[in-house]
Amino acid sequence: MRRLTTLLASVILVAGAAGCTDRTATVDRLMQKYQGNVPGASLLVLKDGKPLIRRGYGLANLEQHEQASPATNYRLASVTKQFTAAAILLLAQDGKLKLDDSIRHWLPSLPANADEVTLRELLSHTGGLIDYEDLIPAGTTRQLDDNDVLRMLSDAPKSYFTPGSAYRYSNSGYVLLGLVVEQASGEGLPAFLQQRIFRPLHMDHTLLYVRGGPGVSHRAYGYSEENGVWKRTDQDLTSATRGDGGIYSSIDDMAKWDAALYDDRLLSDASRKLAFSPHAKVTGEPYEASYGFGWRITGDTLWHSGESIGFRNVIVRWPRQHLTVILLSNRNDPEPYRTVLSIAEPFLH
C-alpha cells in the first residue's frame, strides 16, 4: 500500500511538472516578440500570492545592452492612476478630505464651472474636464508639469459635459487629484506616496519620478519602432506630469501592491470596495468595462493598462481565483492586454 501511495505521488508530481513546463512554453511563445536584442518586458504570474512565472525578456536598455529582469523599473504610465486613487482614499480615511468635495474647494484657481465637479467624479472619469493634451499651445517644446496643467485648465472655462452625466477618460482629472493630495496632506505627492504606500508595503524601488529628484534604479528606457529600427523615445511633452502617469515600478514591487489589495493593511474594506465598484460604464474603447477608482472592471477582472511614449503596461487581477498577471514593457508595441489574457488562460483552470 505504501509503495502504491508513493507511486501515485510520483505520478502526480511528474504530471504537475509536465503541466508547468507546458504552461511555461506557452507563455514563452506568447512573449516571443519581446525576446532577443530588442526592447523587452518583465512578466509576473501570481497565483495564491506565489510567483509561478517571474522573468524578464529582451533588453531594458538597448544602448548599454542591459537585460530586462524582475527588478527592472518601468514607467507605469496610467497604471499610476490606481496609486493616485489610493492616496485620495487614504486621505478620506484620515478625514482630511471628502470624496464629494468640489475640486475647486482644493484648487480655487479653476473656473467657476468646476464648482460642481467632485473628487469622486474625477476618480471615475465623469468630471467632464477638458483634456490638457488638447490645450498645449502649438510649438511648445518644454515638458509640462502639474502646475502647467492647472494653469491651462484654469484658463479653460468650458467642459465636455455636465459633471456626472457621462464618461470620458481624463488625464486632466488625475493630475488634479495628485495636486489635491498635496493640498490635503501638506506634503509633496512623491513624499506622500513614499510614506503612505511604497514604504509600508516595502516597495523599496518604486517612486514617483521627478526630474532632479531621486533617480530610478534598474531603469528601463522606452523605445518606438520606426521603419524597422528601434529609436529611444523615453520622454515627451507630457511625460513629466505626475498623478496621471509618473510612477516607476517593477514586477517584484507590484507583487507587493497586489498582495495589499486583498486585505486592510493599507486601504480599509470600505475603501477597497469603492475602488473596485463600477461607478461608470466605459465608452469609446474597443472593450467592455466599467470604471471604479483607478481600476477598470470587466467580468471577474480588475485591470488597468498604461501607455506613454515607449512604454506599454497592464495589470490584470482575478481576485476570486487569486490570480494576477502583470506585464510591463519598454516599447510602443505590441499592446499587452490581450497577451496577458492569453497568458492567464491556462492558470484559470
- Encode pLDDT of 35-67 as tens digits: 999 999 999 999 999 999 999 999 999 999 999
Specify the pLDDT at position 157: 84
DSSP secondary structure code for residue 277 in this structure = S
- Encode pLDDT of 92-119 as tens digits: 999 999 999 999 999 999 999 999 999 9
d(CA 327, CA 335): 10
DSSP secondary structure code for residue 219 in this structure = B
Number of domains in the chain: 1
Report the SS3 class of residue 209. coil
The answer to whether the CB of 47 falls within 8 A of the CB of 65 is: no
Residue 283, all three cell numbers? 465608452
What predicted TM-score, i.e. pTM, was given to this entire model?
0.94
Q: How many Cα atoms are found within 13 Å in the side-chain-facing hemisphere of 3?
A: 0
Active-site residue, from 78, 102, 239, 249: 78
Instruction: Calculate the CA dihedral of residues 314, 317, 322, 328 and round it to 10 degrees.
Output: 10
- Residue 179 within any structural domain of the chain: yes
d(CA 46, CA 176): 33
For residue 221, the domain's CATH number is 3.40.710.10
- Residue 27 within any structural domain of the chain: no
The answer to whether the CB of 250 falls within 8 A of the CB of 70 is: yes
Beta bridge partners of 43: 55, 327
- Residue 21 within any structural domain of the chain: no
- Residue 320 within any structural domain of the chain: yes
Angle at 284 between CA 281 and CA 289, to 5 degrees: 35
Using CA of residue 131, residue 132, residue 137, residue 142, what is the dihedral sign?
A: negative
d(CA 346, CA 349): 6
- Encode pLDDT of 242-277 as tens digits: 999 999 999 999 999 999 999 999 999 999 999 999
- Residue 329 within any structural domain of the chain: yes
Angle at 128 between CA 131 and CA 169, to 5 degrees: 60
Confidence of residue 349 (pLDDT cuts 50, 70, 90): confident
- Residue 29 within any structural domain of the chain: no
- Residue 73 within any structural domain of the chain: yes
Give me the domain span that covers residue 188. 38-348
Q: Has 78 been annotated as catalytic?
A: yes
The answer to whether the CB of 304 falls within 8 A of the CB of 80 is: no
- Residue 6 within any structural domain of the chain: no
